Chains A and B, each alone.
Chain A
């Protein structure tokens, strides 16, 4: 059985196909990733974007539409995927996907564009408790993106630059607008960009860490979401969490889509 998980995030849409693996013709409780696809919709029409994503993903994976028995959507725009057979929140899909990627994970930290959250999951990838940022972008990828713009650095350079700094500059991470004005002040004070970048990422990590602490940090900790690609953030988070290791999965931005596809298999 092939299922699809579609994660309609606020910056990008991701799709993962999962196929049940069989040994000697008998179904096993294991699945393989059959294909994945990502696109960055330019318009806000979630329905059109989802259809386009699905069509492109089918073509690239060489799967016929009628081979896909269930489609579960997730993410900020997940409810708008009209052709999906089910919907789960990104909290559930993230946890399911993360525990699939790292079966020993108990704490899932998910930092996407719009929201950061800490999730406590059980061995089956079910959510036990969760906490997320409330009505502000601080503690989410959009915050880091906004700050990198203020520093006129690409997101990649922003993370890499921060690794060159050994300074600790406290920064307000409660509000993106206030934080940006702090960044401007630091620029005017001739603070090196690498130090500002580290200050920003330390602040984001501190916010995310506080959310994770609300549910309790238990190892293994796995980090998912687009911010995994930001090396500076990962370093700041490791320090802030005070744990031996933070598991960084392959294809971190696909984990929620993967989780949705697995939940479709579970059903």
Chain B
């Protein structure tokens, strides 16, 4: 029952290729004498970029998400972590990543590629512990930058400088552990790349306000992930520029991601990666998940525009702000990262509720599906308060239980039943059933 024209995203293949190449490049970095480092998708990627043009990063969460998509390999990893004594209620990504080290296997084949160092930020309760233990196992040096300075709305000079000074200190540490001279010019370029990537991603998400939505969230998962891989690389920013143009063109021509769109929902937190079919199941009702604070704000950097709407944060470059020195760049870079929407809910769930309410309003959302994600303590924090806040605002909301990285904790049939009930509350009947 198509209501809108639909077509495949032209850049889909390129996104897949870039992702594939990223993991291969990391594994082969040593062939050409390059540097390998690891950290989370929230590590401050641009800083190690100052070490040279042959620096390759493996971000833990997207890697573990890819592992989760391969249940057989994932089980080997999770079993290994459990055999080492780690409990099942710990971060599923962390367990899977550690498991890969224990069994010494890489998802893209061969041995688990050991980094030269781990370089990490700390805001999530599991992040530092993740790389602390990985560093012990891999016997590599580690550095942590504490970014938990409170919500961005309360940022002051001392809080900002607390992060800036750690960033500057990390440069000295990087020079010491790698024996390389830090290149400020490369660092500044990387900061600009990251600002471009993350602002462009927010711009792409903003285009999804259109009805019909040019992108559905199952597709968004494959696109936002490039920023989680290495947002400070030029290829990432360039890709998002191309993508922005293609999505804008889809909006202009009224191209829908889901041709039978008649209802728009918002999801929350990482999905159960092994069961992305729940997003296809929504389509049977003509429902499209247009995004989430997770896909929009994990890497996207946003600001409130003069008209009160949410949109991509204007980069310092677009404002004509100079970035000539290491100190200057680090200051702008820290400020940029501290405004990350997904950082905010760590301080107060009400901040997340307000952002979600904004999204519901501006993205014309009919209901919200909250994933009670047992695999991520960080992003699930306060989620029931979010539920209450949304419900109090009259927004239909459902919850389902699962785990982004441990498929043993997800019940597909029960979740589909929940979706059925939720769709009924939205007065929707199934239009078709996927084969």
Contacts and interface: CB of A to CB of B under 8 A. Distances in A.
Given A134-B401, A135-B414, A127 B421 contact: yes
B421 A92 contact: yes
A130 interface: yes
B420 A89 contact: yes
Contacts of B384: 214
A129 B396 contact: yes
B391 A91 contact: no
B359 interface: no
Interface string B354-380: 000000000000000000100000000
A187 interface: no
Interface in A40-98: 88-92
A86 to B, nearest CB: 9
A92 B424 contact: yes
A156 B372 CA distance: 36
A128 B425 contact: yes
Contact of B397 (A88, A129, A216): A129
A221 B401 CA distance: 26
B411 interface: yes
Contacts of B396: 129
Contacts of B400: 134
Contacts of B424: 88-89, 91-92, 127
Given A135-B401, A135-B411, A127 B372 contact: no
A131 interface: yes
Nearest to A91: B421
Residue in B372, B398, B409 with the greatest tally of chain A CB atoms within 10 Å: B398
Contacts of B418: 132
* Chief secondary structure at chain A's binding surface: mixed
B240 to A, nearest CB: 37
Give the size range of A's interface with the partner. 10 to 19
A130 B421 CA distance: 9
A126 B428 CA distance: 13
A216 B391 CA distance: 10
Nearest to B384: A214
A206 B399 CA distance: 20
Interface in A107-145: 126-132, 134-135
B280 interface: no
Contacts of B414: 135
A155 to B, nearest CB: 25
B425 A130 contact: yes
Contacts of B417: 89
Interface in B2-21: none
A131 B411 contact: no
Interface in B381-419: 384, 387-388, 391, 396-401, 409, 411, 414, 417-418
A130 B419 CA distance: 12
Interface in A197-226: 214-216
B219 to A, nearest CB: 28
A131 B425 contact: no
A129 B424 CA distance: 11
A137 B399 CA distance: 17
B92 to A, nearest CB: 15
A88 B427 CA distance: 11
A177 B397 CA distance: 31
Nearest to A267: B429
B411 A127 contact: no
Given A88-B424, A89-B424, A91-B424, A129 B401 contact: no
A215 B388 CA distance: 8
A92 to B, nearest CB: 5
Contacts of B399: 131
Contacts of A92: 421, 424-425
Interface in B104-153: none
> Which of B398, B417, B421 is the most central at the interface, judged by chain A CB atoms within 10 Å of its CB?
B421
Nearest to A134: B401
Interface of B: 372, 384, 387-388, 391, 396-401, 409, 411, 414, 417-418, 420-421, 424-425
11 contacts: A89-B421, A89-B424, A91-B421, A91-B425, A92-B421, A129-B425, A134-B401, A135-B401, A135-B414, A215-B391, A216-B391
Which 9 pairs show the lowest CB-CB distances between chains A and B? Answer: A134-B401, A91-B421, A89-B421, A127-B425, A92-B424, A89-B420, A135-B411, A135-B401, A89-B424
Given A92-B421, A134-B400, A134-B401, 10 more contacts: A90-B421, A91-B421, A91-B425, A126-B425, A129-B391, A129-B396, A129-B397, A130-B421, A132-B418, A135-B401
